[in-house]
């Protein structure tokens, strides 16, 4: 089984450090393709496959919802519990994705490259060309940027600009530190195989969280006065912190709920349409605690923490700014949960 939540293959090197391999397929879907490796942004052509457990895939779910692309790009959701072929569609009727007809996401990877399609693992998020059944891209950082920038002709009225040109340098700088020390940092702590490597990751993680906590004391969002890519990338790790990383990955100096500004910031985002309504704590906990048996061999899933804490008052609006910018608006409420109907194997 995979040892990570949704991203690419990972391993610990001889020093005991966790290493993550990058995405295998880095084609892009763009408004005006001009060459090899570029696909047209055509509504109805693609299916976005995710796991609700996976923080890397969760980013794309949030952006798709914020941009109002539900009718343009369909969504396939995998079982949080993998088998020896990785992500499977066992929550859907007949254990097959109703659009692709696949039982496993692996099939889209092999349709794209029968020889080496799964060389770097089978990861989510993955965008699949429906007609051919071939994987287009699993480049998780680029997917969200392109959903925000390249699909503008198909976005809802009031969709925010998550990657404004004048803020890109600052957003990229924030994202780089957050990726290394927080998004990937929790994995570097959790999957380290030597004490020194764990302590290095642990120290860097909490140093970064302390810096973010200080940064957010006097500003509502990480960059600028409305939500950007930076907030989305940080949020998906924060949403899993107390439920998983604090205990399961031994990131236990303190809980997210014991921070000041950072915890209020996380609650502010959670209560913003597109964020909390895409979080599934059941999928999250079942995946981490039941799949990662090298860390949790008993596969016991903890009952806490109480999710209602995410709905408590945060007062972040007092800092000014607005979630979607001065000309933006919230996406319409979800009519039903994201999760497909069906049992989860225990």
Which positions are catalytic? Answer: 54, 187
Residue 175 is encoded by which pair of tokens?
A: 């994202």
Closest alpha carbon to 27 in 180, 106, 184, 136: 136
Q: How many Å apart are CA 7 and CA 56, to the nearest integer? A: 6
Contact in structure between 106 and 92 (CB atoms under 8 Å)? no
Residue 245's φ and ψ, nearest 5 degrees, are -65, -35
Q: How far is CA 8 from CA 12, 75, 86, 314, in A?
A: 13, 20, 11, 35
CB 133 within 8 A of CB 107: yes
Q: Which stretch of DSSP H or E encloses residue 18? A: strand 18-20
8 Å CB contact between 305 and 242: yes
The 3 state secondary structure assigned to 206-227 is: HHHHHHHHHHCCCCCCCCCCCC
Q: Which of 204, 158, 198, 162 minimizes the C-alpha distance to 179?
A: 204
Cα dihedral angle (309, 77, 328, 221), rounded to 10 degrees?
50
């Amino acid at each position: 089984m995979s040892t990570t939540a949704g991203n690419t293959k990972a391993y610990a090197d001889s020093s005991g450090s966790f290493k993550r391999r990058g995405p295998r397929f880095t084609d892009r879907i763009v408004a005006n393709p001009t060459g090899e490796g570029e696909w047209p942004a055509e509504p109805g052509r693609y299916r976005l496959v995710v796991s609700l457990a996976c923080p890397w895939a969760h980013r794309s779910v949030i952006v798709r919802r914020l941009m109002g692309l539900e009718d343009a790009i369909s969504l396939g959701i995998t079982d949080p519990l993998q088998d020896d072929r990785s992500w499977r569609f066992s929550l859907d009727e007949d254990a097959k994705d109703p659009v692709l007809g696949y039982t496993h996401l692996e099939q889209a990877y092999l349709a794209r490259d029968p020889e080496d399609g799964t060389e770097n693992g089978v990861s989510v998020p993955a965008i699949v060309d429906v007609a051919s059944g071939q994987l287009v891209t699993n480049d998780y950082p680029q997917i969200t940027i392109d959903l925000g920038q390249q699909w503008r002709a198909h976005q809802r009225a009031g969709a925010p600009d998550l990657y404004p040109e004048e803020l890109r340098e600052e957003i990229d700088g924030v994202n780089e530190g957050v990726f290394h020390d927080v998004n990937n940092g929790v994995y570097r702590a959790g999957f380290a195989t030597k004490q020194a490597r764990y302590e290095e990751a642990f120290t860097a993680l909490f140093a970064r969280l302390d810096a973010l906590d200080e940064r957010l004391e006097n500003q509502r969002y990480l960059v600028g006065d409305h939500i950007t890519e930076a907030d989305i990338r940080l949020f998906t790790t924060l949403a899993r912190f107390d439920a998983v990383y604090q205990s399961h990955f031994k990131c236990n100096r303190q809980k997210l709920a014991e921070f000041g500004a950072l915890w209020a910031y996380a609650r502010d985002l959670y209560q913003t349409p597109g964020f909390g309504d895409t979080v599934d704590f059941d999928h999250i906990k079942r995946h981490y605690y039941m799949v990662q048996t090298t860390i949790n061999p008993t596969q016991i899933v903890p009952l806490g923490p109480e999710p209602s804490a995410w709905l408590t008052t945060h007062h972040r609006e007092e800092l000014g700014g607005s979630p979607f910018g001065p000309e933006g608006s919230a996406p319409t409420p979800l009519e039903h949960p994201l999760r497909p109907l069906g049992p989860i194997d225990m």
